[in-house]
Structure 1
């Protein structure tokens, strides 16, 4: 999957817990691609696919 620089940046923000610094539209775009998921208690978290994609670009 090809991710834009902004998507990668947002994935890194979600991974580091900086959800408030992430663009809302990108968050929902990443959710549609099943790279992140909203957990009721913890907020946004990376899925396994999101972790794999983030590891590819790092």
Structure 2
């Protein structure tokens, strides 16, 4: 999956618990791709697909 630098940065922010600092357009685009989802108590969290994509970015 092709991600922009901003989307990658947003994934990393959400993974580290800083979703509130992220750009809303990037959040919505990641949600549409199925990489993140909104949990009522926890806020934005990575899906398994999001975790896999983040691992690809970090390793590759």
TM-score after normalising by structure 2: 0.93
Q: After the TM superposition, which parts of structure 1 deviate over 2 Å for at least 4 consecutive aligned residues? A: none
User: What 5-or-longer segments of structure 1 have no aligned partner?
Assistant: none
TM-score after normalising by structure 1: 0.97
Q: Give the length in aligned residue pairs.
A: 58
User: What 5-or-longer segments of structure 2 have no aligned partner?
Assistant: none
Q: CA RMSD in A?
A: 0.5
Deviations 1:6-35 (A, max 9, x none): 100000000000012100111011000000
